Structure 1
Amino acid sequence: MTIRLRAHHLLCMLTYVGKGYTPAFTANYDVIAGRLSRGEDIVIVEGPDDVCAPLLSDPEAHCLNASVLERDAQAARDVGDLLGRRIGAGERIALDAILLEKLRSGFAAGLTRTACVGCEWAGLCTDIVGDAYAGVKVGGPPC
């Protein structure tokens, strides 16, 4: 199977430690984190993805907001610049330990955090980076 991710979730997955908007959201993300850790492929989508799924029954779901689409666009630019390749809808990504380390290094250096400006989780992510990614659920902390 393939995991459908919107571009900014390429950043969120780096620091995911089991915290989220609702219990259903975190339970779903825990399953996705396990799949990512086992090396399941990613396909980038525009708009709501597999992570967003538990929130979409709410008519006010923030996943549908224009600001989130802009967050996706910025994340796609930053991650694309970091990796030297296009990141956009339909692109497939094989997440392995080397790519995960490159993404985490870029995130820690602030190279891919433009999309995080104004995010309610940015402080938590900064703390996780400062703690060398301890407790993350996707792939574990870097070696």
Structure 2
Amino acid sequence: MFNQKKHPPMRNAIGAGMQVQGPCTFEDGLQIDGTVLGDVLPASEQSVSKIVIGPTGQVQGTIRADFIVIAGTVIGNVQALEALELQASAHVQSEAIQYRTLEMQTGAVISGQLQPQLMPPSTPAKTILTGEDQAV
């Protein structure tokens, strides 16, 4: 679904069996197959961010990224600044589910208010930093 824009590399992971407590920030992409008890937010709003919550992944807190794919469980607000994909195994319980574009597979379960967002006309483009672009 997310072929329209270039995606950041998936450099970070919370593996199955791991539990992280408290707010969690990340750069580029984050794969969650374990449990996060707290908010999951990009470290910078200037670069493109992506969160993938696998089928065994669970988050209790707000999640925010440009691109979000959910196959696991989220209890908390969801803020997909660009696109949100809910796979068939997704379970989302939220007061607010915000997105610009939404893809939802048959079987996904959501409880909450869907809030499509319009992009402001003067929003600056975000950049993707590669290994060569980053200072050592």
Q: Taking structure 2 as the reference length, what is the TM-score of the superposition?
A: 0.26
Greater strand content: 2
Highest relative contact order (Cα 8 Å, sep 6+), 1 or 2?
1
Greater helix content: 1
